Structure 1
Amino acid sequence: MIFKNISQFYWFFILIPIIILMIVGYKKRHRQLEQTINISLWSTIIPHLSYSRRFWKRFMLIVGFSFIIIALLRPQYGVIFKQIERKGHDIFIAIDLSQSMLAQDIKPSRLIHAKREVLGLIDDLQGDRIGLIAFSGDAIVQCPLTSDYSAIKMYLDFIEPNLMAVPGTDIASAIKEARLSFQRLSKSNKPILILISDGESFENDPIESAKVAADKGISIYTIGIGTPKGEPIPQFDENGKLNGYKKDKNGDIVLSQLDEASLKEIATISNGRYFNSTLGAFVMNQVYQEISYHEKKRLEDSLLQFHQDRYQWFLAIGFILLFLEIFLSDRKKLIKIPELKR
């Protein structure tokens, strides 16, 4: 047996002092009565009082409340299996893992802030399937669409720029990888891609890739992370210690700037929306509100195991005992002996 609502256990800490006070009070009255009347005379002086009934009244009161408290703990015993129809959205999240995402114009860094955005989305999901794509100079599906949110969190914690084989930033490859992943599935009802990046893309044309995705019914929501002013790109040694900033061929420090224009265009072309996360505020809850307007598709059914509630039995026994306590008198019925006529 397990207890689903163990937080209600504190009621026992309220009941125990009450029981102790009842016992102490009972003994105190008993002692006072002993000092006043000899025990052998009790049945003569107060013949109507039944101490055994008084005991059982208090016993039923205590046990009755104890059973009600156990019912509040929601005891469960045994399991049942139910086939659950699941509905939701298919969502791929593409995170930019280029070196520019290490810039710290968004504290503590653009990449860490992006990961926190995704964690916020995962906490809001309601049965949706989610997948993870990492991209820099190319794109890799780190985790296919899944309902196992703990797996997404594990992959999210693992990905870093140094894991990507090809340097650079290729937003087009991320959009293409998402499109191909959706196409491998059965017909998807309005697939969603959430693209998180600073918008700087130096490889293929992301706008053309967005047009192809839009033709396949994919809506792309873009989140821009960074500032238009720009920030140097830090470089770290093997021990994670700052080792300077990235420089161009002329030896000048490279500034990474947020390119909102391209991100906005990608979102507009694909019937999505652009969100600005440059001030450090989290916007993923707004993104999910937008996504929730799309019709949910039927996902795979799940056979789920549920523990059976048994609180009803404890609740019924508790109320029965309290009911009996109310109607049980602590007085004896005295039998009148008729007087003999002389």
Structure 2
Amino acid sequence: MLEFLHPLTFILLLAPFLVAYLPLRYISRRSALRISFMEDIRSVQGNKEQSMGISRATLFQKLLLLLVWSLVVIALAKPQLIGEPIVKEISQREILVAVDLSGSMSTQDFKGKDGKNIDRLEAVKHVLSAFFEKRKGEKIGLILFGSAAFVQSPFTQDLDALNHLLSELQVGMAGPQTMIGDGIGLGVKMFREGNVTDRMLILMSDGDDTGSKIPPKTAAKLAAENDVKIYSIAMGDPKNAGEHPIDTETLKAIVSETKGKFYYAWNSEELVEIYDEIDKLTPKKVEELSYRPVRELYMYPLALGLLLMFLYTLGLMGKKEWGGRHE
């Protein structure tokens, strides 16, 4: 759509017509010699006649000047080509997923979609991948913890890169232990560096903390002070009392400090339902930024006016040179 930034400038189009009717003639008050035989003098001069005074513009020159003036006025009005509105959604929520990579996550007590047993980490990877695909426009970060906690991905909207990093996770790559408190502490630090107030931490673990530098309950209190809600998901069969049983008490204590919620998940379908419920509990807050691309067009009428004047001047110079050769 074509728009003009300064439409009132078009009033200047009337200027040439106003000037033509204004009393701007120059009247000389000096005495003048009136010659009654001017025709005789002109006949003697022949081809050497020189015209004195102001020469009148031809119709072509008047139209040319009017056209150039119109182009200048159009340029001053600043024409712009306005494109279609472009809407960008900016999420006002940050989601941080903390995944346990300790040795206990290799326990195959999780039911896959086909009913076969898979390890806990494999179940996490399948469900998180689908979860990320539904989070377009949101900022998601990924923390991994085992014997130590580290940031696998800072908050990003590049979900393809996030899924690629998720697919490369392996049990034990962060060490065999389970440092839940350290993972929560690192998550709180990441939230502090942002400016979003809606902060959600999804903690996926068997809850068996094995000696964090920051006790899980202390880390949870720190999260609560920074307005971070923790949703903990206990991975695996709650009836499992083998080598790596699920420590539900620790995970429940963490969420109680932050007014979050605790979930059990021991099959893929239930884990999907848990993520849907979390999304309903904390609906995504989105701020829409709309703008329309603007393309400036003032240079085109201005360039056309300059080109017309240049061609006219070039034509006058050629005419004079041609007339001089004939003389």
Q: The TM-score by the shorter chain falls in which range?
A: 0.5 to 0.7
What corresponds to 1:60 in structure 2? none
Q: Any runs of at least 4 consecutive aligned residues in structure 1 with deviations exceeding 6 A, and if so which?
A: 302-305
The answer to whether the 8 A contact 1:264-1:274 is kept is yes
SS in 2 for 1:196: strand
> Residue type of the partner of 1:294?
T
What corresponds to 1:51 in structure 2? none
What corresponds to 1:100 in structure 2? 104
CA distances 1:275-324 after superposition (whole Å, capped 9, x unpaired): 1112443324433433444364556959899xxxxxxxxxxxxxxxxxxx
What corresponds to 1:208 in structure 2? 218
SS in 2 for 1:282: helix
Unaligned runs of 5+ in 2: 1-82, 111-116, 294-327
The answer to whether the 8 A contact 1:117-1:282 is kept is no
CA deviation after TM superposition for structure 1 residue 117, in Å: 2.1
What corresponds to 2:190 in structure 1? 181
CA deviation after TM superposition for structure 1 residue 87, in Å: 2.9
Larger Rg: 2
SS in 1 for 2:207: coil
The answer to whether the 8 A contact 2:237-2:265 is kept is no
What corresponds to 1:82 in structure 2? 86
Q: Which has the higher contact order (CA 8 A, sep 6+)?
A: 1
**Distance of aligned partners of 1:229 and 1:81 in 2 relative to their CA distance in 1, 3 Å threshold:** same
Structure 1 residue corresponding to 2:250, chosen from 259, 262, 273:
262
What corresponds to 2:275 in structure 1? 287
Matched, 1:192 2:200: yes
- Structure 2 CA distance, aligned partners of 1:151 and 1:269? 33
SS in 2 for 1:274: strand
- Structure 2 CA distance, aligned partners of 1:179 and 1:226? 26
- Structure 2 CA distance, aligned partners of 1:303 and 1:96? 42
The answer to whether the 8 A contact 1:104-1:231 is kept is no
- Structure 2 CA distance, aligned partners of 1:276 and 1:228? 8
> Residue type of the partner of 2:95?
I
Aligned-residue CA RMSD in angstroms? 2.6
Could you tell which deviates more after superposition, 136-145 or 126-135?
Answer: 126-135
The answer to whether the 8 A contact 2:146-2:172 is kept is no
Could you tell which deviates more after superposition, 177-186 or 274-283?
Answer: 274-283
- Structure 1 CA distance, aligned partners of 2:204 and 2:254? 12
Normalising by structure 1, what TM-score?
0.54
Matched, 1:119 2:125: no
CA deviation after TM superposition for structure 1 residue 220, in Å: 0.4
The answer to whether the 8 A contact 1:176-1:213 is kept is yes
The number of residues matched between the two structures is 203
What corresponds to 1:274 in structure 2? 262
CA deviation after TM superposition for structure 1 residue 121, in Å: 1.4
**Distance of aligned partners of 1:189 and 1:288 in 2 relative to their CA distance in 1, 3 Å threshold:** farther
* Identity of matched residues, %: 29
> Residue type of the partner of 2:158?
D
SS in 2 for 1:283: helix
